[in-house]
A and B are shown apart, each in its own frame.
Chain A
Amino acid sequence: QVQLQESGPGLVKPSETLSLTCTVSGGSISNYYWSWIRQPPGKGLEWIGYVSYGGSSNYNPSLKSRVTISLDTSKNHFSLRLNSVTAADTAVYYCARDLGGAYNPVFDQWGQGTLVTVSS
């Protein structure tokens, strides 16, 4: 059974960069697409973007200018970087495996999520 685990700082200062890593265990990161999804407190889910096993990416236009998702097959993990954060970026951040790829994205495995708070 594939397991995903998010890691990274729980507190980030405004205007700085949020950096998270999702470590995949129990299976290879190759041959799948991998996404980041977030949930602000008391709100719904927002898809941030995905990276493919080949390294291509697709981002939500609402965040595209600030986000980078990358893959490291040697470490079996993928990462999220979100620049110039504000309080509106405070959320639980989830990583997820996309079972369907680019044509029918379906998230069949998720991490438990990590809360990132943006505050000085």
Chain B
Amino acid sequence: DIQMTQSPSSLAASVGDRVTITCRASQSISTYLNWYQLKPGKAPNLLIYATSSLQNEVPSRFSGSGSGTDFTLTISSLQPEDYATYYCQQSYRTPLTFGQGTKLEIK
């Protein structure tokens, strides 16, 4: 299985901050990397697919980059509604695997 490792596991930041979350794959996955936002009691939300493509209706403050084994999700200016847990997911090979999550908290 391809292991996905996110860092940090948790992060405290203030509204307006620029936030970066990293995701590392245990082997090259080209650009087959997606990012999701999870909030308690709500349906998870696809943010970024294929490393850098913004899903419809996702604000442009979210962006993604990387290739091979190293990827990043960046929020350019944190908004109150962005406090959530973020997961990366590789779609290069089954079994599909996710990172362990990064919990973004209010500072």
- Count: A-B pairs, CB below 8 Å: 57
Q: How far is the CB of A8 from chain B (nearest CB, A)?
A: 17
As a 0/1 sequence over residues 53 to 77 of chain A, the CB contacts with chain B under 8 angstroms (1 = contact) are 0000010111000000000000000
Q: Are B36 and A113 in contact (CB under 8 A)?
A: no
Q: Are A44 and B46 in contact (CB under 8 A)?
A: no
Q: Are B99 and A113 in contact (CB under 8 A)?
A: no
Q: Known A106-B49, A107-B36; judge A60-B43 contact (CB<8 A).
A: no
Which of A58, A61, A104, A109 contacts B91 (CB under 8 A)?
A104
With an 8 A cutoff between CB atoms, is A111 at the interface?
yes
With an 8 A cutoff between CB atoms, is A32 at the interface?
no
Cα distance A35–B50 when bound, in Å? 18
Which A residues have a C-beta under 8 Å from some C-beta of B? Answer: 4, 35, 44-47, 58, 60-62, 94, 96, 99-100, 104-113
